[in-house]
Amino acid sequence: MSPEQRRLLVTQYATGPERFEAALATVPAAALQWRPGPGRWSVHEIIVHCADSETNAHMRLRYLLAEPDPLILGYNQDDWAIELDYHAHPLPLALATIRAVRANTVPLLQRLTEAQWQRTGRHTENPTFGVEPWLEAYGVHLDVHVRQIARNMEAWGKQ
């Protein structure tokens, strides 16, 4: 990945919460916990998932940067949504978590050296996982869910 590609993804990562919250602002209260189908997530669940995912991402990056040969743990996001009863979790806290962990990570990303960008570890779901693949995954993560929220709202409007 070139330095320019990294810079663009770091910017996308940094500004993701604004787009995410703008997408949420389009969701009527009555639609927050509506699911577009069996096994599909509501907007409420999407938001809480993002809070959990972002906190995992926050720590994954730090393990990659600070630990020798770190083992990054995968998790089953669908099980988390059920077992942690995402619909019962307060949305304002989830949104504050997303904003906080991203704000805390951006300065770190902006000062990484070339050697740090190349750091890798192991992942329970992949043979290797590194800082650049981390940025590729999490730089776009909230935008993936912005599109999911839009699809949910489109489906909700057709019911």
The domain locations on the chain are: 3-158
Nearest to 13 by CA among 140, 148, 117: 140
DSSP letter for 42, please. Answer: P
Closest by CA to 77, choosing from 98, 61, 53, 100, is 53
Q: What is the pTM of this model?
A: 0.95
Q: Give the pLDDT means over successive 10-residue stretches in the chain (159 positions).
A: 96 98 97 96 98 97 97 96 97 98 98 97 91 97 98 95
Please report the pLDDT score of residue 52 as a whole number. Answer: 98
Q: In this structure, what token pair is assigned to residue 40?
A: 């599909």
What pLDDT sits at residue 128?
84
pLDDT (0 to 100) of residue 159:
84
| Look-up of token digits 């916990």 | 33
**Distance in angstroms (rounded) separating the CA atoms of residues 143 and 145:** 5
| Distance (Å, whole) CA 36 – CA 148 | 11
The per-residue pLDDT for 51 is: 98
Given a contact cutoff of 8 angstroms between Cβ atoms, the answer to whether 83 and 45 are in contact is no
Helix or strand or coil: residue 14? helix
Amino acid 59: pLDDT:
97
pLDDT of amino acid 21: 97
Q: Are 40 and 156 in contact (CB under 8 A)?
A: no
| Beta-strand relationship, 71-72 and 120-123 | parallel
Domain boundaries 3-158, corresponding CATH code: 1.20.120.450
